[in-house]
Amino acid sequence: IQMIFQDPYASLNPRERVIDIITAPMLLHKIVGSKEEATARGIEIFRKVGIREEQVSRFPHQFSGGQRQRVGIARALAVNPIFIVADEPVSALDVSIQAQILNLLMDLQSEFHFSYLFIAHDLAVVRHISDEIGVMYLGKIVEQGTKHHIFENPRHPYTQALLASTPKITGDNLERSKPLMGEIPSSVDLPSGCFFNERCPYRKPVCIKVMPEEKEIEPGHRVSCHLYQV
Ligand code: SF4
């Protein structure tokens, strides 16, 4: 299991050349037999993520934000992971660079066949990259299903509000939905019952007392909400 961090400006050791950043885990995990083999493999991985051989002796500060994130991705690939946790890997980057990195992540997945747990707030990014989606509110997954389930048939009131909050352009008009009322409760002083109850337009008396259980409302589509009885 490997990790790609959110902030490429803070997640690379500024005192190490990027070739050393990528070869250290290979040597530590004995994926290669020698420093020379690690360097050759490191250069090959860098090539796959778009870093040229003549750049691999540079320090992190000599790269742009998008290139640094490529180094972070290369570091994750260095030990042949089967699973990569990508924590908001594009949110610190310019929009023009985000698409490049997302496409790179998807190309690498096709080539190396690992899985991602991809954490994001940007729904367009989620839609672009995901197969299965879990929607989280205050640390709890409230709805889980395929991309089709979540984007075409959202069932939890929070998911519905989240999707409705994206502005839509129709003709000459920019449509804005009504925002959710209320504030997100403190995570150290959680509401009783359903965590969403103080902001939910469908709240019932039971919602204030009882945390809803997860229910499978159709194959592969699970929701935690008292509106659904299965
Ligand atoms: Fe709304 Fe009740 Fe469902 Fe929570 S359990 S989302 S308060 S209807």
> How many Å lie between the centroid of ligand 1 and the Cα of residue 182?
15
Is the Cβ atom of 203 under 6 angstroms away from ligand 1? yes
Three-class SS of 106-142: HHHHHHHCCEEEEECCCHHHHHHHCCEEEEEECCEEE
pTM of the predicted structure, to 2 decimals: 0.88
Q: Would you state the pLDDT for residue 227?
A: 96
Nearest Cα to Cα of residue 39 among 21, 58, 60, 51: 21
Is the Cβ atom of 135 under 6 angstroms away from ligand 1? no
Residue found by looking up tokens 């420093």 in the block: 35
Nearest Cα to Cα of residue 222 among 148, 156, 173: 156
Instruction: Determine which residue's CA is closest to atom 3 belonging to ligand 1.
Output: 225
- Ligand 1 atom, smallest distance to 197 CA: 7
> How many Å lie between the centroid of ligand 1 and the Cα of residue 43?
52
Is the Cβ atom of 138 under 6 angstroms away from ligand 1? no
Report the distance separating Cα 71 and Cα 49, nearest Å.
8
Q: How many Cβ atoms sit within 10 Å of the Cβ of residue 16?
A: 14
- Ligand 1 atom, smallest distance to 208 CA: 7
- Ligand 1 atom, smallest distance to 195 CA: 4
Instruction: Determine which residue's CA is closest to atom 5 belonging to ligand 1.
Output: 225
The one-digit pLDDT tens for each residue of the chain (230 residues) are 999 999 998 999 999 999 999 999 999 999 999 999 999 999 999 999 999 999 999 999 999 999 999 999 999 999 999 999 999 999 888 888 899 999 999 999 999 999 999 999 999 999 999 999 999 999 999 999 999 999 999 999 999 999 988 877 777 776 666 678 888 899 899 999 999 999 999 999 999 999 999 999 999 999 999 999 86
Q: Would you state the pLDDT for residue 176?
A: 65
Q: Would you state the pLDDT for residue 172?
A: 72
